[in-house]
Amino acid sequence: MADGKIADHEEFDPSSTHPTRPDIPTADGHRMQGSQPRSPTSSTKGRRPTPGKERMMRPIKYTVSLEIALPREKVVQLLADPAHLPKWLRGLVLHEPLSGEHGQLGTKSRVVMQMGQRKIECTETITRREPADLREIPRTSVVHFDREIVGEGMWSAVRDRLTEASPQTTLWESENEYRFSGLLMKLVGLLMPGAFRKQSQQHMQDFKAFAEQGKDVREATD
């Protein structure tokens, strides 16, 4: 330190949190290069998934609602009647109970839907129905009708709430959730997430037209 300088000092790169170490002499006179900062590898633990993969795994959730110009008791009875399903559930091919009574809590049903050129088959389970008796429902109570639907590469839940907006008007709110496990359905969920909301809105509008005006989707010309 006679000249006032520090020998063999470490040089610090301000752009890095790792110092660059100098060459280190060995016993045989050679010089060993100092260790350099290690770059992350594919085996690094705790790394975050890429944005694309993260998005593909995220479930689709949304809520849609509309008002129907009918008393709530009339609306819920129309919704619960299996004989009316083909009149407003567009694309329905088959809806048959596998166990239990149609529309009752715990009932499992086989459902087949026509989607364009494809037929999609799934199993529906009623997970909540309150009240069990849909007659003389108290005005302040909320009617709940929930179900889970499982198909190839897909799981979904629909949670319907029906409240009395006025003595002659019913508010129908439908909370929907979709999760995907198969590659094809993951891609569909990633590329066309709005299609699921659009389909839910279509079914609700079709039911409204049936309930208020007696329209049957099987007779539609569009």
**Alpha carbon 192 to chain centroid distance?**
12
Three-state DSSP state, 187: helix
Amino acid at 39: S
Give domain 58-90+130-210's CATH superfamily: START domain (3.30.530.20)
Q: What is the pTM of this model?
A: 0.71
Radius of gyration of the chain (CA): 31
- Per-residue pLDDT, 16: 43
Give me the chain's average pLDDT, please: 80
Three-state DSSP state, 95: strand
> Where exactly are the structural domains of the chain?
58-90+130-210
pLDDT at 32 over 70: no
pLDDT digits over 185-203, tens only? Answer: 667 666 677 888 999 999 9
